[in-house]
C-alpha cells in the first residue's frame, strides 16, 4: 500500500468519526471538525479529481466537475465499508460514475451523435433507469481492445495450425497412435512458435526444421488465391 493510499484511509476514517460525533452531538465544534476532515479529503483527492476531469473531457466545466466529485466523495464516505475494499478504489468508481453522468447530461450519449440528453438526473436515478451500460471505465478500453486483438490472433493461429495439421497428417506414415502423437507434438511446437512463446534459436535443429516447413506451408495456403 502506498503512503498516499494510507493517508487517504486515515483521512476518511477521521471524517467518518467526525460525522458520527456530529450526528450524535450536533454543535459548532463538531461541525467544524467534520468540515475540516472533509476539506482534508478533498485536498488529498484534488489531483485525482483534476485528472479524471481531463480524462472525461470536462476541463471546460472544471467547476461543475469539482462539484459533482465533491458530491461523489461525500456519498462514498457515507457508504464506505472498509472490510469490502480500499477507499481509493471505491471513491474512484464514484468519481468516474459522476463525471460520466455529467458528460452525458452536457453532451448527450456520445455513442450516438444525433441524440442529445436534456434531462438532469442524479446518478442513482440513472442507474435505476439502466444506465450502467455506459457508466464505463474509459481507461479500460485500451486493455479491452488489446485483449480482444489477442483473442482474435489466438483463434486465427489455432485455425491455421489445425488446417496445417490436416494436410500434414496425410504425409505421415505409420501406426495411427504413433502418427497422432507425433502430429500433436508438432502442432504444439508450431503453435508455440506462432504465439512467440518459443524463440527459434532455442529449438533443436529437428524442431526448427519442423517449424520452418510448417510456416512455409501455412503461408502458402493462407496467401490469397489469384483468379484465373
C-alpha cell belonging to residue 203: 529449438
Q: Could you read off the pLDDT of 204-213 as tens digits, one per residue?
A: 788 888 888 8
Residue 77 has pLDDT above 80, yes or no: yes
Domain coordinates in residue numbering, the chain: 3-136, 142-222
Number of other CB atoms surrounding residue 71 within 10 Å? 14
| Residue 67 CB coordination number (10 Å) | 13
**Alpha helix positions (H), the chain:** 3-24, 28-55, 62-79, 87-107, 123-128, 141-169, 176-195, 205-222
Query: Does the predicted model carry a pTM greater than 0.85?
Result: no
Higher pLDDT, 119 or 108: 108
Nearest partner of 95 among 144, 35, 53, judged by Cα: 53
- The answer, yes or no, to whether residue 127 has pLDDT greater than 50, is no
Q: Which has the higher per-residue pLDDT, 75 or 140?
A: 75
Contact between 197 and 175 under an 8 Å Cβ cutoff? The reply is: no
d(CA 53, CA 47): 10
Closest among 142, 210, 160 to 182, alpha carbons compared: 210
Handedness of CA 128, 132, 134, 138 (dihedral sign): positive
Gap between the Cα atoms of 35 and 2, Å rounded = 26
DSSP H stretches of helix in 56-86: 62-79
- More confidently predicted of 10 and 109: 10
At 185-202, the pLDDT tens digits run: 888 888 887 776 555 556
Amino acid at each position: 500500500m502506498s503512503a498516499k493510499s494510507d493517508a487517504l484511509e486515515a483521512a476518511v476514517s477521521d471524517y467518518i468519526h467526525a460525522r458520527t460525533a456530529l450526528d450524535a452531538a450536533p454543535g459548532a465544534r463538531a461541525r467544524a471538525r467534520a468540515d475540516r476532515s472533509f476539506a482534508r479529503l478533498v485536498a488529498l483527492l484534488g489531483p485525482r479529481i483534476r485528472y479524471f476531469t481531463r480524462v472525461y473531457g470536462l476541463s471546460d466545466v472544471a467547476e461543475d466537475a469539482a462539484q459533482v466529485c465533491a458530491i461523489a466523495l461525500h456519498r462514498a464516505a457515507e457508504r464506505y465499508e472498509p472490510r469490502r475494499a480500499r477507499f481509493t478504489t471505491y471513491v474512484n468508481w464514484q468519481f468516474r460514475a459522476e463525471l460520466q453522468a455529467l458528460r452525458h447530461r452536457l453532451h448527450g450519449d456520445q455513442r450516438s451523435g444525433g441524440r442529445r440528453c436534456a434531462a438532469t438526473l442524479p446518478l442513482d436515478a440513472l442507474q435505476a433507469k439502466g444506465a450502467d451500460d455506459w457508466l464505463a471505465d474509459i481507461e479500460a478500453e485500451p486493455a479491452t481492445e488489446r485483449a480482444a486483438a489477442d483473442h482474435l490472433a489466438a483463434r486465427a493461429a489455432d485455425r491455421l495450425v489445425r488446417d496445417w495439421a490436416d494436410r500434414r497428417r496425410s504425409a505421415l506414415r505409420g501406426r495411427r497412435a504413433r502418427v497422432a502423437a507425433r502430429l500433436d507434438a508438432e502442432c504444439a511446437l508450431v503453435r508455440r512458435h506462432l504465439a512467440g512463446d518459443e524463440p527459434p534459436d532455442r529449438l533443436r535443429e529437428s524442431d526448427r526444421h519442423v517449424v520452418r516447413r510448417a510456416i512455409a506451408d501455412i503461408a502458402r495456403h493462407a496467401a490469397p488465391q489469384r483468379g484465373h
